[in-house]
Amino acid sequence: MLPEDPIEHAVTIRSVRRLNSLTAVLVLDAPLIAAAATPGQFVNVTCDQFLRRPIGIMAVQRREGLIELGIRAVGAGTRNLLQKKPGDPLSVLGPLGHGFQLDGLRRVITVGGGSGVFPLFFVQQVCRERGIDALAVCGYRSKNESILRDEYAGLGCQTLFAADAGDLDVAGQAADALAQLLRQLPPVPGTAILTCGPRPMMQAVAELARRNQLPCQVSLEERMACGIGVCLVCACQVKADGKTGYQRCCVDGPVFDAEVVAW
Amino acid sequence: MVKTALQIGSLSLKNPVLAASGTFGFGREMARFQDLSRLGGICSKGLTLHPRAGNPPPRVAETSCGMLNSVGLQNPGLDAFLRDELPFMRQLGCAVIVNVAGHSTDEYCEMCRRLDQTAIDAIELNLSCPNVREGCMLIGSEARQIESLIRQVKLETKKPVWAKLTPNVTSIADMALAAQRGGADAIVLINTLLGMAIDHRTRRPVLGNNTGGLSGPAIKPVALRMVAEVSRLVDLPLIGVGGIMNGQDALEFLVAGASAVEVGTASLIRPAACQDILAEMQALARVDGVDDLAEYRGTLQLWGG
């Protein structure tokens, strides 16, 4: 029995685009991942630390065989990834995980907080390809810390930027901006809210979705090791058959229906 | 061709590289990375009689040259394993070793009794998981309990019984000798070292379980020393495990006295690590002019004696 579907790839970095002192977009030559990836999936990449780092896929350029990874420095491993240069080799496992479900949807509202706007950008890209009406809410601490604003604006979809500091469209958090958007928006059947960001933000978004009777998908984050479902360290609490239990964030998620998440 | 086949007691293995328990699931997820029929064998995720949810997250903390885990034996329980996983493992074409973790002697015995009727190749008694409150490491840190447990388990099964020991003891030699007296067919050295990671800002342990088991290259020297020490005292086959990341590491364990090795944490970083390590062992043997990996076994010559 031979492995028919290899997902460990030796890739090189095509380019690095600095967004600010803490974030950058790495563009990788990874045609097999670009061809197979769906929004919400991630890759597990090597760095100078012992374990790989799971990074959500921000965009793919299928024709060019490129994938883009948005990375925020949160520790030694991600700091090392931000220092990579074009031409540097990287071992990448992916695409991994269970991403967002877009089938049957007619309108998608993405709600991202901080670096959560990265993987949701891929959702927006695919919505455009598939002709799904899409809107976006992006929340940041401040205008200064905001990322991907030009890229989201360039999608041509209705986008609302929120900042706690009050220096963008909406003063407040992503959930506040979503509430404002939902008040103005005529209801369309087949609307869903897709969210990624800090856990309290996603919980507020899920609660808002529930009150508006809209389905909501959330992308959870847990510390991971293997990323492929064997080590069981990325347990997240999920409700199934009326009981709460642990599921693997890496393969059962990272995207879950908000209704099953045990907040 | 470098010969790789070996015997662990009555069990024939096609090569000395086994996947360590808890780092390979039941093999399902790993089939896309390597031809599993070419492995020596797979040690299943640690099983308990009843399903176990495991410990609260976070369950992992990275360390210098390794990692801590505090999974806590999350597993579907013996019934679900026999129904859903064993048929899959059975057709992989490599040896199937079932890691058995009990709360009590009765549980170990019941599990072994039921596994005796199945098509598995060996039982690996988990006397060493540091992440649960009962059984396992608590039994495995008392020589008398190790001996008595193995003796009772051996009455329940004709399958080879391997004792996987914990390094968190004052004398690994005493534990290994106890396993031998109890009638173990082989000894697996070592499970993880109990450790802790702390966040100085929150003044909290990083792991939800407070403590966890340290694995990876950080523990290889401890494991090598224990294999070398035990191999001089017991007559049983030894299986070495602890921080094996490449073929050279694996050969070091054979020289120390192991007949076979288990590869664990390496698989979490390189899913095809087992297959690569076997190929590296053979390549190194060719360089050394060795035509059978078994020739390395127990060839360590200590200084001064």
In a domain, B88, yes or no: yes
In a domain, B205, yes or no: no
Rounded distance between C-alpha atoms, residue A13 and residue A115, angstroms: 21
* The residue to which tokens 């019941």 are assigned: B110
- We report the CATH number of the domain holding residue B13 as 3.20.20.70
Rounded distance between C-alpha atoms, residue A203 and residue B7, angstroms: 55
pLDDT beyond 70 at A3: no
In a domain, B233, yes or no: yes
Q: Which residues of B touch A220 (CB under 8 A)?
A: none
In a domain, B66, yes or no: no
pTM of full prediction above 0.90: yes
B24:A230 CB<8 A: yes
Q: Which residues of A touch B90 (CB under 8 A)?
A: none
* The residue to which tokens 């899920």 are assigned: A206
Rounded distance between C-alpha atoms, residue B208 and residue B74, angstroms: 14
Contact A234, A249 (CB under 8 A): yes
A8:B272 CB<8 A: yes
Determine the residue among A78, A233, A236 to mutate to test chain B binding: the one whose Cβ has the most chain B Cβ atoms within 10 Å. Answer: A233
Please report, rounded to a whole number, the percentage of residues in chain A having pLDDT higher than 90.
92
* pLDDT digits 0-9 by tens, B43-68: 999 999 999 999 999 999 999 999 99
Element of type H or E holding B67: strand B66-69
Superfamily of domain A8-96: Translation factors (2.40.30.10)
In a domain, B122, yes or no: yes
pLDDT band at A5, cuts 50/70/90?
A: low
Determine the residue among B269, B270, B275 to mutate to test chain A binding: the one whose Cβ has the most chain A Cβ atoms within 10 Å. Answer: B269
Closest chain B CA to residue A44: B269
* pLDDT digits 0-9 by tens, A87-138: 999 999 999 999 999 999 999 999 999 999 999 999 999 999 999 999 999 9
Considering only CB atoms, A229 lies closest to which of B25, B58, B64, namely B25
Contact B241, B273 (CB under 8 A): no
Rounded distance between C-alpha atoms, residue B190 and residue B179, angstroms: 14
Contacts of B159 (CB under 8 A, 6+ apart): B112, B115, B116, B120, B121, B122, B123
Rounded distance between C-alpha atoms, residue A127 and residue A108, angstroms: 8
pLDDT band at B139, cuts 50/70/90?
A: confident
In a domain, B146, yes or no: yes
Q: Which residues of B touch A199 (CB under 8 A)?
A: none
| Phi, psi for B158 (deg, rounded to 5) | -100, -5
Active-site residue, from B112, B129, B136, B274: B129
B74:A232 CB<8 A: yes
Domain chopping of chain A, boundaries: 8-96, 107-219
Considering only CB atoms, A246 lies closest to which of B53, B92, B268, namely B53
What is residue A6's predicted lDDT score, i.e. its pLDDT? 61
Q: What is the 3-class SS of chain A, one letter each residue?
A: CCCCCCCEEEEEEEEEEEEECCEEEEEEECHHHHHHCCCCCEEEECCCCCCCEEEEEEEEECCCCEEEEEEECCCHHHHHHHCCCCCCEEEEEEEECECCCCCCCCEEEEEEEHHHHHHHHHHHHHHHHHCCEEEEEEEECCHHHCCCHHHHHHCCCEEEEEECCCCCCEECCHHHHHHHHHHHCCCCCCEEEEEECCHHHHHHHHHHHHHCCCCEEEECCCCCCCCCCCCCCCEEEEEECCEEEEEECCCCCEEEEHHHECC
Q: What CATH fold (topology level) applies to the domain A107-219?
A: Rossmann fold (3.40.50)
CA of B1 vs chain A CAs: smallest distance (Å): 21
Question: Which candidate, A154, A153, A150, A170, places its Cα nearest to that of A162?
Answer: A170
> What's the number of domains chain B is made of?
1
Closest chain A CA to residue B75: A232
Q: Does A241 touch chain B (CB under 8 A)?
A: no
Q: Tell me the pLDDT of chain B averaged across its residues.
A: 96
* pLDDT digits 0-9 by tens, A199-232: 999 999 999 999 999 999 999 999 999 999 999 9
Domain that holds residue B229: 6-54+71-194+215-296
Contacts of A25 (CB under 8 A, 6+ apart): A16, A17, A19, A58, A68, A69, A70, A71
Determine the residue among B26, B30, B32, B39 to mutate to test chain A binding: the one whose Cβ has the most chain A Cβ atoms within 10 Å. Answer: B32
Provide ipTM, 2 decimals: 0.94
Q: Does A261 touch chain B (CB under 8 A)?
A: no
Rounded distance between C-alpha atoms, residue B265 and residue B206, angstroms: 19
A1:B53 CB<8 A: no
